[in-house]
Amino acid sequence: MLIAISTLVLLVIAAGVWFRKRPEIHIPLMAAAFAIDLGLLLYIEFSRHAIETLSETIQTTSQTPAQEGLLLFHVAISALMLVLYIVQIITGIQLFKGLHPTRLFHRYSAVLFVVCRLLNYATSFFVVPA
């Protein structure tokens, strides 16, 4: 179910990118993607105690260095993705208010955000708890 919701978020983000020149559509789509992703993160944390489980997994299991590295990479990408969501929201609000010097920064950070979101999605298939 979590993968299905994550896939939905990617589709909403894709639609948001498609409608990037129509703020009346782009902004609600991207806000919805953020809200769903944040809800997903909170669900995973509260249902699985993900942060606590992460430290226990690294300390107590016999993971290979590659498995441990992939898990840490997934967590780092996830954290960066959340930071980039905030950057996108702040620069998006500035753009909406007409502060055009932020346009290029918003665009370039959006590319980085999409790459991080795709990496988060791809690595999630390999770090799902048993």
Say yes or no to pLDDT of 67 above 90. Answer: no
pLDDT at 98: 86
Q: How many domains does the chain have?
A: 1
pLDDT at 129: 58
Note down the domain range covering 15.
Answer: 2-127
pLDDT at 117: 95
What one-letter code names the amino acid at 83?
A: V
User: Which of 15-19, 68-72, 90-94 has maximum average pLDDT?
Assistant: 15-19
Phi-psi region of 49 (alpha: psi -120 to 50; beta: other; left: phi over 0): left
In this predicted model, which residue has the larger pLDDT, 7 or 61? 7
CB atoms within 10 A of CB 107: 12
Residue range 101-113: average pLDDT? 90
